[in-house]
Structure formats: C-alpha cells, structure tokens
C-alpha cells in the first residue's frame, strides 16, 4: 500500500460517491473530517465512516468532527444531545470550582461517548483562544473565559474527558485566535499586539497544554511575529512560537485551507502550509476538484510528522466505563444554575 498522505479531507454528502471512494483508495488521506452535510442518522454516519476506512485500508484511520457544544456542534437533536457552550461551562466553573470541574469532564466524556458509538475518534476541542473586548464574535461564547489561566485549567479538564472516552482532543487555534477583529472564514484577521503581551495571554493556554497530541493553527496574521504571513503559512511562527516558545511537539494541522483568510489557489496554500511546518493540512468543503488539487501537492507522511502522527494514533481507542444515563442526568443537574 502506498504511504499515507499528509492531509485530512472532507466529503460532499452522507455517503461516499464513486469518485470519492476512488480518491480515498488512491490518495490515502490521513484523516476524514465530518460536517453537518455529512450527517443524517447514526446508522448512516457509521456506514460513511466504515466506507472511508475500507477505502483507505486502515480500520482506525482518524475521523474528526467539531463537536464543541453551543453553536458549534455537528451532531444535533433528534439523534444526538445538545451540549452547553464553552462560556456556559466556564460560568459554572467560576461559580463553583468543584461542580464546574465535574461538569466540564462530564461534558467531554459524554461527547466522547456519542462520537465513539459512531466510530469518530478525534474531536476538534478544546477552544483555547482567549477573547478580548472588541474582537470578532467568531470565537465569542465558544471560549471558556477571558482569563488565560482559567482557559488553560478548563481546557485541560475538557481534554481529560475526551481522552477518558478514547477520543483525541485537538487544541485550537494555536497560537491564539481570541484577538482577531474579523472572521478568518471570510478574510484574514490582523493582530498588532506586541509579542510580550501575546506570550503572556494568548500563548499561555497552549503552553500549558503543549503535551496534547494534536493542535490546529490559526489563520491569523500577528504583525509583531511575522508581518507578512498568517500563522498557518509562517515558518517563523511555527518554528519559533508554536514549536519553540509554546513548546508543542504534537501533530500540527492547519485550519481549513478553503477558508478565505489565505491567499492564492489551493495548491499554493497547501504547499505554503507544509513548507511552513504544518505536519498535516486540513481541507473541509468536500469539493472534488479542490480535493484533487490538495492531494497532488501533499507529501506522504514521513520523518517527524509521521512520528507525531504515530504518537497520536497510539492514544486512540480504549476509554473507561460510563453509566451514560446517570452521567447525563448529573450533567443536566450541574448545568442547571447557568441555564
């Protein structure tokens, strides 16, 4: 079998088309990411994931989703449960630390349970961004707090809940999206804050969780760090800040390359992300023409990137036992004060 390629792909719908199956079989992306367009019923999602893994020939190939709670949750009623936002979790924790710790762990542990039943083994959670007054609401209530220390503490609890359920967390968006004055899905945000201040605030939660297996970059330009390039395509930021100052040595994935924050065509974006130091690139929209463009550029995973992927994959699966009904009842009770 050919080597695994250094990208994560989306697909167009609720089942693999013949073209998508052929693409997976030939290109062997490292992972698949799911969105609302890919989700109908539990049985359908499970079948889609099984078909993807059969096509790439790896029974435990990573399957990712953004299931945070609040406004960002791809799995929703009636087949799945609603979950609180990061801000709601933070509010309970600030009101009662003991109850908050239990709630945050339960939040992630129950999400992990939902995901594991479907075969999803990676959740793009926690959000470690620290919002500031006047920033765009793209992070907003997704954030746990405006205090870096609180974000770090709550973020670790969230990771512990996922890992206890056999699901890998992805810390995002390194080195920090909280100051962005615009939505990076639509345009490139530019942050002019001094390096020392960024280090003290924005970087702090990522530094505290640098031992996590996976992280996602921010499509944000920090002019004090690199005036010309956003973090995703900045060799200086990835080497000096993410790998150096923050000390993260897990698998680093780009945020979605189809977002409008990045310049150039998809091939240029992919090339620039890998050249800058991203181990794996993320492409989400399921557009086959774009998928083929990305795959043509992406290298096979090797060297340090392959080692990091292997370390992450070694943590997949397992998980402790949970009485789901009792855990859900307890989750509702603990959340009650903030609802």
> Which residues carry out catalysis?
185, 255
- By the 10 Å C-beta count (0-12 exposed, 13-18 middle, 19+ buried), 182 is classed as middle
C-beta of residue 232 within 8 angstroms of C-beta of residue 193:
no
- Rounded CA-CA distance 26/60 in Å is 18
The whole-angstrom separation of Cα 11 and Cα 44 is 14
φ/ψ region of 166 (left if φ > 0, alpha if ψ in -120 to 50, else beta) reads left
User: How many whole angstroms separate alpha carbon 214 and alpha carbon 248?
Assistant: 9
**Which CB contacts under 8 angstroms, 24+ apart, belong to 223-227?**
223/190, 223/191, 223/192, 224/192, 224/193, 224/194, 224/195, 224/198, 225/195, 225/198
């Amino acid at each position: 079998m050919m080597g695994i390629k250094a990208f994560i792909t989306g697909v167009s719908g609720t089942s693999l088309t013949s073209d998508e199956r052929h693409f997976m079989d030939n290109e062997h992306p490292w992972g698949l990411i799911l969105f609302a367009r890919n989700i109908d019923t539990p049985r359908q999602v499970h079948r889609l994931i099984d078909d993807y893994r059969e096509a790439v020939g790896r029974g435990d190939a990573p399957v990712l989703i953004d299931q945070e709670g609040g406004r960002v949750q791809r799995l929703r009623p009636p087949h799945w449960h609603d979950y609180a936002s990061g801000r709601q979790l933070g509010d309970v924790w600030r009101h009662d630390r003991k109850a908050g710790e239990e709630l945050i762990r339960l939040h992630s542990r129950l999400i992990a349970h939902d995901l594991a039943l479907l075969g999803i083994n990676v959740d793009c959670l926690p959000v470690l961004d620290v919002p500031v007054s006047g920033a765009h609401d793209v992070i907003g209530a997704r954030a746990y707090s405006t205090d870096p220390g609180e974000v770090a503490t709550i973020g670790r609890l969230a990771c512990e809940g996922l890992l206890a359920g056999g699901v890998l967390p992805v810390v995002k968006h390194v080195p920090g999206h909280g100051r962005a004055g615009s939505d990076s899905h639509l345009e490139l945000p530019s942050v002019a804050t001094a390096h020392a201040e960024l280090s003290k605030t924005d970087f702090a939660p990522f530094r505290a969780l640098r031992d996590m297996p996976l992280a996602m970059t921010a499509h944000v330009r920090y002019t004090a760090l690199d005036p010309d390039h956003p973090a995703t395509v900045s060799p200086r930021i990835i080497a000096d800040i993410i790998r150096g100052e923050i000390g993260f040595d897990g698998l680093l994935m780009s945020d979605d390359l189809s977002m409008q924050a990045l310049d150039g065509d998809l091939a240029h974006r992919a090339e620039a992300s890998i050249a800058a130091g991203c181990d794996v690139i993320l492409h989400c929209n399921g557009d086959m023409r774009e998928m083929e463009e990305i795959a043509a550029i992406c290298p096979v995973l090797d060297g340090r990137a392959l080692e990091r992927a292997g370390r992450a994959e070694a943590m997949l699966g397992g998980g402790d036992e949970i009485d789901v009904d009792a855990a859900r009842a307890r989750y509702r009770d603990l959340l009650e004060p903030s609802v």
